[in-house]
Amino acid sequence: MSDATIKYRAPALERGLDIIELLSEQEEPLAKKEMAEKLGRSVNELFRMLNILEARGYVAIDSETGKYHLTLKTFELSNKYPPLERLLSAASTELSDLAGVTQQSCHLTVFHDGMMVVVAKQDSPYKMGFSIRMSARIDIHASGSGLTMLAYQTKEQAKAILNQTHASQVEIDSAVSKLEKVREQGFFVGASPQVSGITNISYPIFNAKQQVEGVLTVPFLTLNSDSLHHQVVSFEESRRAVGATAARLTAAIGGKYPTL
């Protein structure tokens, strides 16, 4: 976030964050004077903040040199609530909202043990829809979620993953041929190989390391508005809604989209 986007300032908090970020980049501990020079601040500005950070356990001071270094507290805090747990927590509301907006079912999958596994789902709020059971294991090479996950691996990683599945060489070659397009457009759209009349819409969800933490999919079932007697959400509207939900889930786990 740039300074221009910050509406309200919190100088003390900013000084504390500046110290933590500075120390995280250093190979050796720093003295107060060294920190002040690097941050363009006075020693007096940092003195009280360093005392607080030390008291709270975020930094420690070497008794011999008087220099400061980061402790493992920030690491411990980040690992108390790992990305998958944060993702599942956010998904409970987001998937419900997405199903309501699109009138379609949706599910969240993660890569595990050579398969894509359904870890969260929401059925369509309408009386008709396609649903997949919780914990279902989905073939990587023949699913929108699998191809979306593979698209953000290196070519070597993708082929290694596919070679560990039961897919034939023809199926592997077919999957690999689709990955570049998925990566270029940022999502997968394609007919379900298992169920006729279903078009899968799959978007990646990224963690802070720009790795795919999960994949959000809507198995889009075309509904006939003439016989249903109510407005049907279009495919394109649904696709945009899936993308927006994936972006919010990415943000919820501290993630960001990769720089291509």
pTM of the model: 0.72
Taking residue 75's Cβ as centre, other Cβ atoms within 10 Å add up to 9
- What percent of the chain is predicted at pLDDT more than 90? 63
Query: Is the same domain home to 14 and 41?
Result: yes
Question: Any idea what the CATH number is for the domain that residue 61 is in?
Answer: 1.10.10.10
Range picked from 18-27, 178-187, 216-225 for highest mean pLDDT: 178-187
Query: Is the same domain home to 21 and 74?
Result: yes
With respect to residue 11, please indicate whether it lies within any of the assigned structural domains: yes
What sign does the dihedral 115-176-250-245 (CA atoms) show? negative
* Contact of 217 with 117, CB cutoff 8 Å: no
- The domain total for the chain is 2
Query: Is the same domain home to 45 and 92?
Result: no
Domain that holds residue 16: 3-79
Give the whole-angstrom CA distance, residue 111 versus residue 242: 19
The pLDDT value recorded for residue 241 is 97
The DSSP element (H or E) to which 16 belongs, if any, is helix 11-24
Query: Is the same domain home to 118 and 184?
Result: yes
Query: Is the same domain home to 88 and 136?
Result: yes
Query: Is the same domain home to 179 and 238?
Result: yes
For the segment 92-111, the average pLDDT, to the nearest whole number, is 95
The model's confidence at residue 2, banded by pLDDT at 50, 70 and 90, is very low
Query: Is the same domain home to 179 and 247?
Result: yes
Query: Is the same domain home to 59 and 126?
Result: no
Query: HSE (CB half, 13 Å, CA atoms) of 64?
Result: 1
Query: HSE (CB half, 13 Å, CA atoms) of 198?
Result: 21
* pLDDT reading at 224 higher than 50: yes
Mean pLDDT score of the chain: 88
Query: Is the same domain home to 17 and 125?
Result: no
> Which of 79, 101, 132 corresponds to the end of one domain?
79
Query: Is the same domain home to 42 and 94?
Result: no
**Token pair belonging to 62:** 């070497």
The model's confidence at residue 65, banded by pLDDT at 50, 70 and 90, is very high
Query: Is the same domain home to 96 and 189?
Result: yes
Query: Is the same domain home to 74 and 200?
Result: no
Pairwise pLDDT comparison (81 vs 157), residue with the higher score: 157
For the segment 69-95, the average pLDDT, to the nearest whole number, is 84
